[in-house]
Amino acid sequence: MDFIQQSFGGGMNLGVDDTRLGTNEYGLAYNVRNRHDALECVKKAKAFDTTNALGGYSATDPRVQGIIFVDPYFFVFMDGVCLKKSKDSDTFTTVWTTSSSHTKPATYSNGVTTGTGTIRLAEASEFIFTAVVPPSYDNFAGKAVSADNASAGGQTDYTKRIPPTVAGIVVQDGTNQPNLIEIAADATVTARQLMGYDQWRSHYVTINNSSGYSAGTSTYTVDATPVQINAQSVITFASGATLTVSDTNSAGDTALAGTLVGSVADNEVGVLGFR
């Protein structure tokens, strides 16, 4: 008589004879994993030789700092280098080396930029820390500080939503500024350093024109800008007017080209928001 077992949720039971096992139990089993009350075979481990070029990297005695799987990729960290391979392939490719540079992706351009930097992962770290971050949907800008509300900078403005980020993996070695591996919907992988507090905090732009400005598209005189302002960044002023910047400006610039919706007064302060 054949018996088709529907569930293995009861787990392995070595305390009774096989004839007395529960309907959802099983006896001695090797190389299986019990997940969601089903048994899955554990595949045989596969060795990769780093003395040969592995995704452009080679070493005779590599320091393996960590391995993490985030569908569909395995990410391997060793000697400060990050390699990845698809679960359906044995080919490794390099995510970053010890001297990889990064530029903030255009899709995340906003009023504050990381510019170009070097991705760092300490080569001597015994191990690294990773955390998988789901897509973000609930980021908001901070409120602008004003004369009658000096503490507003520590509050959240729920009318100014920051575009969500994609899923990613935070990688930290306990020494350097953390890195972020991003996996796009089409499985494209990019990496960059995470921004620090100073890069995320609010920055302000002040109108410098005695008669102010009315709505329109023009070039507007302002006090020296505190940071680089990217094209399509939006500046929201105390009056509710918004200025969408049309070109990228360097820190210290005193003229911003763009489209103003609403009117602004001289010395009116605006908070640099997000695209």
Tell me if residue 128 falls in helix, strand or coil: coil
Residue with tokens 């103003």: 260
Is the pLDDT confidence value at 273 over 90? Answer: no
* CA–CA separation, 75 and 65 (whole Å): 11
Choose the weakest-confidence range: 69-73, 162-166, 182-186. Answer: 162-166
* CA–CA separation, 266 and 208 (whole Å): 6
Is the pLDDT confidence value at 114 over 80? Answer: no
Question: Which of these, 134, 74, 111, 97, lies nearest to 203 by C-alpha position?
Answer: 111
Q: What is the 3-state secondary structure (H, E, C) of 135-150?
A: CCCCEEEECCCECCEC
Is the pLDDT confidence value at 103 over 70? Answer: no
Residue with tokens 């908070």: 271
| 245-271 pLDDT, tens digit each | 998 888 899 999 999 999 999 999 998
At residue 227 the predicted structure's pLDDT band, cuts being 50, 70 and 90, is confident
- 150-176 mean pLDDT: 70
* CA–CA separation, 197 and 5 (whole Å): 55
Residue with tokens 């410098």: 208
Q: Are 22 and 10 in contact (CB under 8 A)?
A: yes
Query: HSE (CB half, 13 Å, CA atoms) of 191?
Result: 24
Q: Are 101 and 116 in contact (CB under 8 A)?
A: yes
Tell me if residue 217 falls in helix, strand or coil: strand
Q: Are 267 and 206 in contact (CB under 8 A)?
A: yes
Which spans in the chain are helix H? Answer: 197-200
Q: What is the pLDDT of residue 37?
A: 84
- Alpha-carbon distances, residue 12 vs 4, 31, 42, 44, 227 (angstroms): 17, 13, 16, 21, 62
| 3-43 pLDDT, tens digit each | 678 888 888 999 999 889 988 998 888 888 888 888 888 87
* CA–CA separation, 130 and 52 (whole Å): 27
Is the pLDDT confidence value at 157 over 90? Answer: no
By CB atoms closer than 10 A (0-12, 13-18, 19+), residue 17 is exposed
pTM of the model: 0.55
Q: What is the pLDDT of residue 159?
A: 67
Is the pLDDT confidence value at 155 over 90? Answer: no
Residue with tokens 């760092």: 120
- Please name the residues in contact with 74: beta carbons below 8 A apart, sequence gap of 6 or more: 67, 68, 84, 85, 86, 87
